[in-house]
């Protein structure tokens, strides 16, 4: 039931004035003139106006308090999110083919909105481009080869391991030439489906982290040693709960394993990158119905089982992920001639932690590079060390958005509106050699007077500092230096094929200047290094649209999300909760779930108080969907953490009963008996199907008996059937049953070999 909020603003100015006039005789009997011209009445009306304003604000809940209420129920405002896509980079053939082109991570490419506005995308990983071209895609389902090349070329979904993957099923990628030996080759495999993207990957990582914490002993209450930093979860590969795959190449006489450097696909269930390296020479061969020699890379299902058949939307050679990010224009400092330089000097395109001392003119007089420094790292755009008689220069991917005023609640704004919060690094230079690093907080409620905290409004790109009591102020005249990644949010959701250019940015000049100098045969510096790389890159495109870019969440959107979160139970209390949470288990793909109370597995006739039996049905195998042991374990682990005290959860699969129909029917005249037999068998198989059968076509209801009258109706509905002469049900290849068939509470039907006899008219 929704609680009704009281209306505190229920008194108006006139009501307050009238009440005050009524109290005058009681408090001031000598005051007899109550007309509007009296000065006392004027003051009374003024105070009534002030009281009315106070009542108005008492009835209002400020936005800041609403955010606090949302945090109390576990809802944090979502910051701006950059769009992401996949780039396909095709090197130009005929230009020094013996030298592989390797691009570092962080290279920026440029796309355009429909209105012609430029949008930058930044790559996540390095890539070594191969000149080989993917030309054929085939699948082996255990019985035959299927040529998927035409479907792959037009962007249709591909059943890469067949419709019913079993161990031994394989995907064959045919290249026009051998992949280079001992050189990484990058592919991006985009899966088709609603739970194959970045959100599902994040849910899997979060669940794995929680499960890992449950397996660790609790830390001591007091520890004298600092806790180690947690490992990067994104670096650990995610494993499927059952299926295992291996990647191999044809070496001429046998299939040999390749070195898998990166596999983010989770056994072809998540969209992600695949980076492999062939340790030997690939040899061309012919496979399937293709009348051409190709060099094949094979993905073979080695063991386990899938919940549903993997479907690939795109397979991109030389593909890598890119996010819609851009950095500040840059901050350049002059280094005084003869300045003292210590530490390992960085090269352009590297990250460096630096400590600098400045003179009164803002020129660096001392510069040290210390990897172990507590200061945040900055991306170096350019660096020229000073000489004894010549000043130097250093340029960082940063900006100076303001100077400290010494006043409370100071605010600064960045050059771009939407900031990615995790990327923000904020420091102040509070003395010629004193650097102060600032830490983000959601608010200043727990900040002390000397705490260097700030609050970021990521959507507006505004930073607020403390007031001197809750959080310290920035001292007057102190330069503020910041580095962050900016995003255009939903404006970065570009269509496929709109990112085509290597961007001319300072970051690219820093990252690719040295590479261009190595490629260029001329001596001396390269005048336009990006042109050298552009010549080597033949085609740049994004075969997939850029998606996922969103603006910062508003208060109304966060409130709606909080209501939806509260409506959706996160605790398994009712049977509906168990079924809904089982469907939400990260990394699984279920077709049906049914929960039973007070029932134990294998004991249908015994009441088991506190026992919850959850029956799960995946999509595979098609005729008899059965959960693997890993699937049941994954669902059970997810539900166990959410069950209430005093209950136990057991996850099982359905109990299948083989059911065949033995019938004799009379056909209408001029009906083909063989075709009619096939139609009757197909109708019965469809009716008994665990996922698509049943009286309403949504799957045979779990535990529902099979009624002879319904089977008779199914046969009578087949075109060509006049009437039924004889009908029997055969259960588990045993004796025929003339009546209904009881399946048991967790039973489902598996259609057997029907015996249909057609009698011609």
DSSP one-letter string for 373-389: -SSPPEEEEEEE---SS
What is the Cα–Cα distance from 157 to 538, expressed in whole angstroms?
27
Longest dimension (CA), the chain: 118
Nearest CA-CA partner of 727 in 706, 743, 742: 706
What is the Cα–Cα distance from 141 to 229, expressed in whole angstroms?
45
Nearest CA-CA partner of 593 in 575, 611, 605: 575
458 and 419 in contact (C-beta within 8 Å)?
Answer: yes
Query: Which residues have a Cβ under 8 Å from the Cβ of 693 and sit 6 or more positions away?
Result: 686, 687, 699, 700, 749
pLDDT at site 236: 65
677 and 760 in contact (C-beta within 8 Å)?
Answer: no
Give 516: exposed, middle or buried? Use CB within 10 Å, 0-12, 13-18, 19+.
buried
Buried residues in 259-292 as b, exposed as e (16+ CB within 10 A): eeeebbbbbbbbbbbbbbbbeeebebeebeebee
pLDDT at site 730: 87
Buried residues in 623-640 as b, exposed as e (16+ CB within 10 A): ebbbbbebbbebbbbbbe
Phi, psi of 465 (to 5 degrees): -100, 175
pLDDT at site 518: 64
Beta bridge partners of 189: 272, 315
Give 24: exposed, middle or buried? Use CB within 10 Å, 0-12, 13-18, 19+.
middle
What is the Cα–Cα distance from 381 to 685, expressed in whole angstroms?
67
Helix (H, G, I), strand (E, B) or coil at 109: strand
Q: How far is CA 2 from CA 5, 550, 563, 570, 719, in A?
A: 9, 31, 11, 19, 55
What is the Cα–Cα distance from 476 to 468, expressed in whole angstroms?
13
pLDDT at site 71: 87
pLDDT at site 581: 93
Q: How far is CA 570 from CA 573, 582, 600, in A?
A: 9, 11, 24
Judged by phi (left if over 0) then psi (alpha if -120 to 50, else beta), residue 251 lies in alpha
What is the Cα–Cα distance from 556 to 562, expressed in whole angstroms?
10
706 and 729 in contact (C-beta within 8 Å)?
Answer: yes
What is the Cα–Cα distance from 24 to 43, expressed in whole angstroms?
13
341 and 367 in contact (C-beta within 8 Å)?
Answer: yes
pLDDT at site 638: 93
Judged by phi (left if over 0) then psi (alpha if -120 to 50, else beta), residue 718 lies in beta
What is the Cα–Cα distance from 638 to 616, expressed in whole angstroms?
13
Residue with tokens 């005023």: 405
Residue with tokens 């693997």: 628
Positions of the chain with pLDDT lower than 50, given as ranges: 1, 221-234, 522-524, 526
What is the Cα–Cα distance from 549 to 486, expressed in whole angstroms?
12
Residue with tokens 């990067």: 232
pLDDT at site 760: 81
38 and 21 in contact (C-beta within 8 Å)?
Answer: no
For residue 35, give both structure tokens. Answer: 């007309």
465 and 409 in contact (C-beta within 8 Å)?
Answer: yes
88 and 543 in contact (C-beta within 8 Å)?
Answer: yes
Residue with tokens 């005290």: 645
Nearest CA-CA partner of 759 in 662, 677, 667: 667
Nearest CA-CA partner of 267 in 147, 413, 169, 388: 169
pLDDT at site 221: 47
87 and 499 in contact (C-beta within 8 Å)?
Answer: yes
313 and 268 in contact (C-beta within 8 Å)?
Answer: no
Query: Which residues have a Cβ under 8 Å from the Cβ of 555 and sit 6 or more positions away?
Result: 63, 66, 67, 77
pLDDT at site 72: 86
Count of residues making up the chain:
761
Give 494: exposed, middle or buried? Use CB within 10 Å, 0-12, 13-18, 19+.
buried
pLDDT at site 523: 39
For residue 631, give both structure tokens. Answer: 């699937």
Phi, psi of 329 (to 5 degrees): -65, -35
What is the Cα–Cα distance from 382 to 667, expressed in whole angstroms?
87
Helix (H, G, I), strand (E, B) or coil at 745: coil
| Chain centroid offset of residue 258 CA | 28
683 and 757 in contact (C-beta within 8 Å)?
Answer: no
pLDDT at site 97: 62
Q: Which helix (H) or strand (E) holds 188?
A: strand 185-191
pTM of the model: 0.84
704 and 674 in contact (C-beta within 8 Å)?
Answer: no
Query: Which residues have a Cβ under 8 Å from the Cβ of 36 and sit 6 or more positions away?
Result: 42, 45
What is the Cα–Cα distance from 256 to 107, expressed in whole angstroms?
34
For residue 503, give both structure tokens. Answer: 């961007």
Q: Which helix (H) or strand (E) holds 202?
A: helix 198-214
Nearest CA-CA partner of 485 in 313, 326, 363, 669: 326
Q: Could you please report the per-residue DSSP string of 671-725?
A: --HHHHHHHHHHHHHHHH-TTT-STTSS-PPTTPPBPHHHHHHHHHTSTTEEEEE
């Amino acid at each position: 039931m929704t609680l009704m909020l009281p209306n505190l603003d229920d008194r108006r100015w006139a009501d307050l004035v009238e009440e005050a006039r009524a109290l005058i005789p009681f408090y001031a009997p000598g005051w007899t003139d109550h007309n509007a011209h009296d000065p006392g009445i004027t003051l009374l009306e003024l105070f009534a106006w002030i009281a009315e304003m106070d009542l108005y604000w008492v009835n209002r809940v400020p936005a800041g308090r609403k955010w606090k209420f949302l945090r109390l129920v576990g809802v944090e405002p979502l910051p701006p999110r950059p769009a992401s896509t996949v780039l396909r980079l095709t090197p130009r053939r005929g230009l020094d083919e013996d030298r592989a082109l390797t691009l570092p991570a962080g290279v920026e490419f440029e796309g355009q909105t429909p209105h012609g506005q430029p949008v930058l995308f930044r790559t996540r990983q390095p890539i070594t481009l191969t000149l080989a071209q993917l030309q054929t895609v085939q699948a082996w389902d255990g019985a035959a080869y299927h040529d998927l090349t035409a479907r792959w070329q037009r962007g249709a979904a591909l059943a890469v391991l067949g419709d019913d993957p079993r161990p031994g099923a394989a995907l064959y990628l045919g290249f026009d030439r051998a992949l280079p030996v001992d050189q990484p080759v990058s592919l991006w495999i985009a899966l088709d489906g609603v739970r194959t993207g970045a959100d599902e990957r994040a849910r899997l990582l979060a669940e794995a982290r929680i499960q890992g914490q449950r397996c660790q002993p609790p830390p001591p209450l007091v520890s004298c040693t600092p806790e180690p930093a947690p490992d990067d979860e994104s670096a650990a590969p995610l494993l499927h709960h059952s299926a295992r795959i291996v990647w191999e190449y044809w070496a001429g006489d046998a299939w040999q394993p390749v070195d898998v450097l990166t596999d983010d696909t989770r056994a072809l269930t998540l969209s992600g990158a695949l980076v492999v390296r062939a340790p030997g020479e690939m040899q061309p061969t012919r496979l399937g119905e293709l009348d051409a020699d190709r060099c094949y890379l094979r993905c073979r299902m080695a063991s386990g089982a899938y919940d549903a058949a993997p479907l690939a939307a795109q397979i991109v050679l030389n593909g890598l992920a890119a996010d819609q990010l851009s950095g500040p224009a840059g901050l350049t400092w002059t280094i005084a001639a003869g300045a003292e330089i210590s530490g390992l000097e960085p090269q352009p395109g590297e990250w460096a932690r630096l400590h600098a001392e400045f003179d009164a003119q803002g020129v660096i007089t001392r510069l040290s590079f210390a990897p172990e420094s507590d200061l945040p790292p900055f991306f170096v755009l350019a660096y020229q060390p000073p000489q004894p008689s010549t000043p130097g220069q250093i340029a960082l991917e940063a900006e100076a958005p303001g100077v400290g005023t010494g006043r409370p609640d100071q605010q600064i704004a960045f050059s771009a509106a939407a900031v990615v919060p995790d990327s923000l690094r904020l420091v102040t230079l509070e003395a010629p050699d004193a650097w102060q690093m600032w830490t983000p907080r959601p608010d200043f409620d727990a900040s002390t007077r000397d705490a260097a905290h700030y609050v970021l409004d990521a959507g507006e790109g505004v930073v607020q500092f403390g007031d001197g009591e809750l959080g310290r102020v920035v001292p007057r005249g102190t330069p503020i230096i910041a580095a962050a990644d900016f995003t255009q949010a939903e404006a970065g959701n570009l269509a496929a094929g709109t990112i085509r250019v290597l961007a001319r940015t300072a970051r690219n000049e820093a990252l690719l200047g040295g590479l261009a100098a190595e490629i260029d045969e001329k001596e001396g510096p390269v005048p336009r290094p990006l042109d050298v790389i552009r010549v080597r890159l033949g085609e740049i495109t994004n075969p997939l649209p850029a998606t996922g870019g969103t603006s910062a969440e508003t208060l109304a959107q966060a409130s709606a999300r909080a209501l939806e979160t509260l409506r959706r139970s996160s605790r398994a209390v009712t049977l509906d909760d168990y079924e809904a949470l089982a469907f939400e288990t990260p990394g699984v793909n279920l077709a049906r779930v049914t929960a039973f109370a007070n029932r134990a597995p294998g004991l249908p006739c015994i009441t088991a108080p506190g026992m919850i039996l959850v029956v799960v049905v995946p999509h595979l195998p098609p005729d008899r969907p059965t959960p693997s042991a890993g699937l049941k374990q994954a669902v059970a682990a997810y539900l166990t953490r959410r069950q209430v005290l005093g209950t136990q959860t057991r996850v099982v699969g359905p109990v299948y009963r083989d059911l065949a129909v033995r019938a004799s029917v009379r056909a209408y005249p001029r009906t083909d008996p063989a075709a009619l037999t096939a139609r009757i068998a197909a109708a019965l198989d469809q009716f008994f199907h665990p996922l698509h059968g049943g009286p309403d076509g949504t799957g045979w209801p779990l535990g529902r008996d099979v009624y002879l009258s319904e089977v008779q109706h199914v046969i009578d509905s087949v075109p060509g059937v006049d009437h039924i002469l004889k009908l029997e049900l055969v259960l588990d290849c045993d004796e025929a049953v003339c009546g209904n068939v009881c399946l048991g509470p967790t039973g489902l039907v598996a259609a057997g070999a029907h015996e249909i006899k057609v009698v011609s008219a």
